[in-house]
Structure formats: C-alpha cells, structure tokens
Chain A
Amino acid sequence: MNVFAWLVVVVFSHALFHFFWYLPSWLRYLTSLDILAIASYTFAISLIESVLLLLGLLVLAALLPGKLLRQHFSTQGVILVWMLSAWALLILSAINFFLPQIVRLQRALPGGELVISLVLFGLVILSVILAPYYLARRQPGFAKGVLALNERASFFLYLYVPLGILGLAVVILRNL
C-alpha cells in the first residue's frame, strides 16, 4: 500500500502540475467541458499508470532475490519508486530543458570544458539517486523516516484514487 501511495503521489502530482501549467493556454481556446474531459482522461490514465507500475514492481519483487526488494518492500519499494521518479524527472527535464541548453552551451563553451561539466553533473545526479537506497540498507533511522513519510503519503490515496475512479467512470461513459 505504501508503494502504491507513493506511485499515486508521484504520477498524479506530476500530471496535475503539468495540467495547471497548460491550463492558461487551454483557457484561451477550449471550453470548460473540453478541459473537464481532459481532466477526466488525465485522472483515469494516471490511475491506470499507477496500478500498472505497481504490478511491474510486484513482478520485479517476485523475480529478484528476497533481500533485494521483497523482504523490505514497504521501505525498499518506496525508495525504488523515488529513484525511478527522480530518474524519470531528470530524463524528461533533459529532453525538455537541458538538451536545448547543452546545444547552446556547446556553441558557447570549448569542447573540453563542456565534457567535464557534463561528467560532473552526471556524477552528482547518480549520487543523489543512489544515496537513499544505500542509507535505507545501512541506517535504521533513515528506514524509520521512510516509514513515517509513507504514512503521510497514504493521505493522498484518499484524494487521488477517488479522482482517478471518477475520471475512469467519465471516460467509460463518454466511450459507451
């Protein structure tokens, strides 16, 4: 449940953040009903995405040796969700923001400096991603902290999952 809660938090929050990022432009040319339809599809598909990702993690836990994921699924599974989310956010940011910047930097900086900057940047990102997994295995206090955060994350289940179910119902009705 903790792992699902975090998946829901990450997937829905990301979708909602971008929904509101697009909203001012949609208000220029879409009707309220059009925007509500997009919201319904967004919630429905986010719910499906969360469920499918949970299934993927459960399959992974079943396949991997127990001590890697299955035995402490509620902490290590959550950390895996964080890591995957951080990785996905970084890749998306790289595609949407950093790559165009790199192309500009490439024009501005001499080749060697750019390569060194990129390698350093990559090492920082890698350590940020791997640190929580290491800490959870070595520091009991950190694992406790993760569990405490899990409790707070479960609150979002009561908010996002009903929205997802509502969205799913609207989508089904629209496609009958």
Chain B
Amino acid sequence: MRNHLTRRDFLTVSGLSVASLLGGSLLSSTIRQPTTAPARPNLIIIVFDTLSARHISLHGYPRPTTPNLDAFANQAFVYHAHHAPGNYTIPSTASLLTGFYPWNHGAYNNLPEANTATQNIFQAFQSHYTTAAFIQNLLADFILDQYDKFLDLHPKLDEFSLTSSQLYAAANRIFDKDNLAAALSTQNFLYSTRDRPGSLFFSLIDRFSAQALQTVYQRQYREEYPYGLPFSFLNNMLFAQRPVFDGVADLLIGLPSPSLAYLHFWSPHEPYRPHKDFSGIFADHPWQPLEKPAQVLGALGYSQARLNSARTRYDEGLAHIDAEFGRLIEQLRANGLLDNSTIIVTSDHGQLFERGIEGHSNPLLYEPLLHVPLLIRTPGQNQRQDIHNLTSSIDLLPTLLHLSGLPVPTWVEGQILPGLGGVDNPQRAIFAIDSKESSSNDPLEHYSLAIYKAEYKLTVYNYLHHERQVELYNLADDPEELNELSQRKTNLTQELQAELRSDLNKARQPIVF
C-alpha cells in the first residue's frame, strides 16, 4: 500500500523483479493491479471475532482492557451505539460483507451460504481496488470462499498458524473450486472435531496427529502461554498471536495502493489464552460484574463465580489482543500506511458472561452479544469524533463506497454512517436476529428478533417448548437490561412489534411473526 518509492523500496522492487523474471513472482501472478490511479485511500477492515463493546474501556468498562484501542480512538470516529445484526459469526459476518440483514442474505443458520453471490463488498470494490482477505475463523472463511472470484489475495486461514487439521487443510486445497461443499462434507461431517465424525479411521488419524502436534507446540510455548496457545476448535488450529499479527502486517505492507483488505482475527474468541504478560492482570481488580437474573433460554446454569472467572480470562485475552493491535498500528505507521488508509476496527458479535450463560452459542440477543465496537480512522485524522446514533454492521459497505468516491448500489440495505457523509436520523430502526436452527428456504418459525429504535430495544424470543418472551428495555436509562418494560409500555411494545413485522415482511423469505 505505498504511493512513493524510497531507496529501500527501489532495491526491494529490483530484487523482486529479478526473482520474478527467474522464477515467476507470487505477487505478480496472484495480485491483480487495479485499473484506476491510486488516488483513493486504502481500506483496512480489522475484525476481532467475539469482541464485545461492553468489555472495552473506551465504552466505559471498568477494567483497563484496551489502552491501545483507546489511543487509536483519539484519532478516529467512535460509534457508541453500533450493533451486529446477529449474535454469532455466520449471520453477522455475512451482513458485514454484503450490506444485507441476515433474513435477506439468508446465512442465518449453520449453513454459511449467503444468497448474494454477486452482491458483496469485494465485488463492489473489485474494479477499483486490489482486494485481499485473511480470515482465521473457519465459519467466516466459508462465507469468503463464495466470494473468491472477487478476491485478488486470499491466504488460507491457517497461513500464519503453527498447526491445524491436516485433513481439512488438504481438502481445502484439493477441492479449491468447491470449497463450501467440501468443507461441509469434511470439516463439518467426516472429520468433525465437535461432534460424531463420519470417517472412522481418518478422523482418528487426524485427531491424533493434531493432538501430537499440539502437544509439541504447547510444550514449546508453555512459558509464553501459561494457559496454552490460542486455539480454534473449529479446525484444530493452534497459533501464537505475534506471528499472526506480523504476518498480517507484512501482507498489508505488500499490497499495492489502493487496496481493500478484510482481516478477521479469531481472538478474543474462546478458549481465552492470553500471553504470560497478560495472564492474571485482572485477578485482583476490585470491580465485580453485576449479578443478573437467570435466563431460561440457552440456560447453562453456570454459577456467578464461574462466569466471573471466565470473564476475567476473556478480559486478559482481550488486553493481549489490544497490545498486538497497538503493535500492528505502529508497523502500519512506520510504513506510511496511516497516511493513506482508512482503518476500520470492529467485531462480528460479542460474548455473554451473565444470566447463568457463557458464550454466544445461544439464542439470546442481550447487549454484550450485539453491542460491538466500530472505530473508523480516515487518512491522517488526528481528532476524535463521537457518534451516538444507532448504527449497524450493514452500514459499513455503503460507507466505505462513499468514502472512496464510488456509487452506492441500490441493493445495499445499510446506510452511510453519520459523521462520514450519512444523515443524522434519530428515528432510524436497526435489527438483529438469531435463528440458527431454521431453514433459509422456509419461513422462520423459531427465532430471536430485536429491534432498536431511539433509546428503546425490543426483543422477541419465539421457541418450541418455551413461552413466547417479549422484552423491552430503555438502553439510555438501563444499559444493563435489568428493568423490563413491556408490561408498562404496552403501546410502545406494540408499535415496535409492528415496525419489526413491517420490515420482516419485506424479507426475501417471509417470517411467521
């Protein structure tokens, strides 16, 4: 992402040219050069998986989890009421990449297949930008596989890792043109590490080889990572944070200008495994989280002590990621990328440590799960701007197109963000959904739906064997969602339900509501 040539650049380019003449350069063969002059800013989207805004000191969290993010915010647009449209990776990442709500892109269940094959951020920028994406989350990478033809660079998800499922990695490479079906068949079925694998012998060989490699690496890094190395259980991927962030920095520095880069880090997703420098840093912190009433939906029945302990480890992991983020920003600054790049920091969804529940594999739509950070730093920006309007992940695509001087397609559901060219609309409503077990081919019957409007949030939970639950909260007065208002504000409850119904009726697949 460079605009000018230094002496060092000249020597590097000369070296690469000789190398490419001799053996063919990887860069020249895989990265297409954009057709337009590089007057537009680079766009770098950094997504931290499972990063809840409710755990960021920037948004008032009592533990100092994110000093580097706070410093970055001092030169950025900070969106205080930004929300993910789903509570887990598949729907929310697909929304971020397509600008559609989940009920319109269709990827709201366990199948990461968005029905927007030609309507996505990479297609929208492809003619004007070099497009690159690196994702560490297997489920998000499934989505990306569908947009491969619009990507100039798409390193495999284990590119900077120590080890991962060898059979899945092999299948991913061999069946490169049919990645989604191959992944559903291999990683989700034949070699599944989460449930009963369909393969009797190879799945065991895969598990044992992964286990053996993991043991070797865990021993090697025991000093550095006292709780074990960071790990993605989706594909048995083990990694150390520093090589991943360094790899990403090298990737960004090597891209031509202008480029659109989408970077999706696995951390701070569970299991929470901070570096030794961050392990235990919040063990003696005096702040204690509020104890909230148990929620029967998705109930795990965890004790408050267990939830508090998991929360502390998550916060320590987050502090580690924040430090790596700080290093990444410094590397970009040293290479001049901060001067010609718009940098976006956000997340796909949050994490819950309350009401007897830990995690995000549940049907709940509470704020720790949906309230995610959004920070946008434009090239050379040195002032902070705080925006308190309701915004959604679907707004990113139109905003970036607008910032790049490109037309916003009519199919985009999101709006240009306020502060960056969008209008200030206090009456705007935004939505979120969870319906993991539903078919995207039939009307939804079992779901969690939320509508946000002004300071109010209405949530409807509709599941088999559970009484239909409607919850209304005033987030301005009650950000912890403890004071349920639907019985006291029946008119408002009905109005919001009507608005939710009206928007859902426009969906590609109707919802029984």
Contacts and interface: CB of A to CB of B under 8 A. Distances in A.
Contacts of A45: 185-186, 190, 199, 202
Given A28-B109, A29-B109, A95-B207, A22 B175 contact: no
B200 A174 contact: no
A11 interface: yes
Interface residues of A, number: 34
Given A15-B190, A29-B437, A41 B185 contact: yes
Interface stretch (A81-89, A98-106, A108-116, A137-145): A81-89
Given A85-B200, A175-B178, A41 B186 contact: yes
Contacts of A34: 111, 113, 181, 184
Interface in B421-452: 437-441
A46 B197 CA distance: 12
A41 to B, nearest CB: 3
B204 interface: yes
Contacts of A30: 111, 184
Contacts of B110: 29
Interface in A16-72: 18-19, 21-22, 28-31, 34, 37-38, 40-42, 45-46, 49, 53
Contacts of B198: 14-15, 18-19, 22, 42
Chain B interface size band reads: 20 to 34
Contacts of A18: 189, 196-198
Contacts of A31: 441
Nearest to A18: B198
Nearest to A97: B196
A85 B201 CA distance: 8
Contact of A174 (B181, B202, B203, B439): B181
A19 B195 CA distance: 12
A117 interface: no
A124 interface: no
Interface string B195-238: 11111111110010000000000000000000000000000000
Contact of A92 (B174, B204, B441): B204
Interface in B170-199: 174-178, 181-182, 184-186, 189-190, 195-199
A27 to B, nearest CB: 8
A96 B207 CA distance: 12
Contact of B200 (A10, A40, A171, A176): A10
Contacts of B113: 34
A128 interface: no
B437 A14 contact: no
Contact of A91 (B190, B195, B204): B204
A40 B110 CA distance: 20
B189 to A, nearest CB: 6
Interface string B50-79: 000000000000000000000000000000
A176 B177 CA distance: 7
A174 to B, nearest CB: 4
Contacts of B200: 10-11, 14-15, 49, 85, 88-89, 92
A11 B201 contact: yes
Contacts of A175: 174-178
Nearest to A36: B181
A15 B207 CA distance: 17
A38 B109 contact: no
B437 A28 contact: yes
B184 A174 contact: no
A18 B196 CA distance: 7
Nearest to A7: B201
Contacts of A21: 196
Nearest to B167: A45
Contact of B175 (A11, A88, A171): A171
B440 A42 contact: no
A42 B178 CA distance: 14
A41 B181 contact: yes
B184 to A, nearest CB: 6
Given A29-B109, A38-B185, A174-B177, A15 B439 contact: no
A22 B184 CA distance: 12
Contacts of B439: 28-29
Which of B177, B182, B186, B207 is most buried by chain A, counting CB atoms within 10 A of its CB? Answer: B182
B199 A49 contact: yes
B185 A92 contact: no
A174 B177 CA distance: 7
A7 to B, nearest CB: 9
A21 B196 CA distance: 9
Nearest to B436: A29
A73 B183 CA distance: 37
B440 A29 contact: yes
Nearest to B108: A29
A22 B198 CA distance: 9
A41 B201 contact: no
A175 B185 CA distance: 14
A37 B182 CA distance: 8
A30 B181 CA distance: 11
A22 B189 contact: yes
A88 B207 CA distance: 12
Contacts of A37: 178, 181, 184-185
9 contacts: A10-B200, A28-B438, A29-B438, A29-B440, A37-B184, A45-B202, A88-B201, A91-B204, A176-B177
Given A42-B185, A174-B181, 5 more contacts: A41-B186, A46-B199, A49-B199, A171-B178, A176-B177
Interface of B: 109-111, 113, 174-178, 181-182, 184-186, 189-190, 195-204, 207, 437-441
10 interchain residue pairs of minimum CB distance: A41-B185, A37-B181, A29-B109, A14-B200, A18-B198, A174-B178, A15-B198, A38-B185, A29-B439, A175-B177
